[in-house]
Amino acid sequence: MQIIFPQPKLIFLSFFLFGLLNNVLYVVILSAAVDLVGSSTPKAIVLLADIIPSFGIKVSAPFFISFVNYHVRVWTLVILSSMGMVMISLSRQGQIWAKIVGIGLASLSSGLGEVTFLQLTHYYERDKSISGFSSGTGGAGLFGSFAYLLLTNLAGIPIWLALLIFSFMPTGFLFAFYILLPQPSNLADPDYRPIDQASWTGQQPTWTSVESVSTHIKNTIAEIKPLFLPYMMPLCLVYIAEYVINQGISPTLLFPLENLPSWLFSSYRDIYVVYGFLYQSGVFISRSSVCFGVRVKNLYLIAVLQFVNVLITLYQSVYDVPFPSIWPLLILIFYEGLLGGLSYVNTFMSVSEEVPHDKREFSLGCVGISDTFGIMLAGCINWWLEPRLCDAQVLRGRYWCLKGSN
């Protein structure tokens, strides 16, 4: 089946759908963190379960992913993500470990998908493929958090049913990959080379001994090292900062419900969901910024600005200043999302522009390790941080952080 549509727009739309579908379940799971584990359990347990399997895939992918063809990758991530969401939604209340296993399956799918589709951008025009994928991942945040907010806060649909609805979304990968996505052409760049049979169907390993395996590992590590300081480090720092805010500090950034509009905030749990929606709105706008010609070359500047946000929100949690009401804080959370999205899209655009062509596909798949590693480190920090911040608030007579699901 051939869809009649200008090829550049088809490329953008295909990669937009790849990004949206790949990240939407990750966002929904984080938005549902309080509902899945309750207010008494640190939300970091959801973050870690949602990121560690993905990190494992991304770390190991440079050593084996070239031997797995794109068809197998796409079908694998569809099966993993759908099974994971079904398991999360149908496990009974209190079966936290069953939910954690389901989250882990969805996380494996997300990690495999990001590596796969970022590498696939190598065969298409970067302004359409990378910008489309980045915009789609940002759109996933906006769509996922809003859809969960709409289904649970406003429509009142049971949480388990809302999660089950999301389990059908991964089938959209098959439509985008097999029907919508055109074959690459020389629109890509002057150095374009078509997807050859080895790239499309998977290279065949040539390992004949332990020594050849060892050589393969050493060569792979040597190819990763030049990517560390210019691309991986600043992206990792940004993600540490923003996820410390999102999962460690923001659950304690609460205000009296009587001072908030009841149509949006009927419980303290709703504040956490609204924070997530605003953050994802900022991410969507900034991850789409390349479409409008906006570029930020200084990746470390974004990391510094994000750590300033950590200090401000941490001070707010501990001392209830500088914000006397929730409204300025909502703006800050939105701004935090803007910085996170700028870091992501500009990092991968820089890799695509600056890395030699013969290393580009490999490099695009590797740099994604850093954001996942940053999120995992943030989860470890938050496991300790969130309970301490809540305890400090309770000592001041502010018990709201204990009522996050009420």
Q: What percent of the chain has a predicted confidence (pLDDT) above 70? A: 89
- What is the chain's Cα-based Rg? 21
Highest mean pLDDT among 181-190, 330-339, 369-378: 330-339
Q: Which residue has the higher pLDDT, 401 or 237?
A: 237
Instruction: Please report the pLDDT score of residue 92 as a whole number.
Output: 73
Domains by residue range for the chain, with CATH:
8-185+226-403 (1.20.1250.20)
The residues, ordered by sequence, that sit 6+ positions from 380 with a Cβ below 8 Å of its Cβ are: 44, 48
Residue with tokens 């953050």: 279
What's the pLDDT band for 41 if we cut at 50, 70, 90?
Answer: low
What's the pLDDT band for 143 if we cut at 50, 70, 90?
Answer: confident
User: Minimum mean pLDDT among 74-78, 200-204, 333-337, 365-369: which range?
Assistant: 200-204
pLDDT tens string 259-289: 898 888 888 878 887 898 899 889 999 999 9
* Mean predicted confidence (pLDDT) in 92-107: 84
| Residues in the chain, overall count | 406
Q: What percent of the chain has a predicted confidence (pLDDT) above 90? A: 50
pLDDT tens string 368-388: 899 989 988 998 898 899 999
Q: How far apart (Å, rounded) are the C-alpha atoms in residues 241 and 307?
A: 6
User: Minimum mean pLDDT among 201-205, 351-355, 401-405: which range?
Assistant: 201-205
- Share the mean pLDDT of the chain: 86
Instruction: Please report the pLDDT score of residue 186 as a whole number.
Output: 44
| C-alpha dihedral sign at 209, 210, 215, 216 | positive
What is the C-alpha end-to-end distance of the chain, expressed in Å?
50
| C-alpha dihedral sign at 14, 116, 141, 315 | negative
Instruction: Please report the pLDDT score of residue 1 as a whole number.
Output: 47
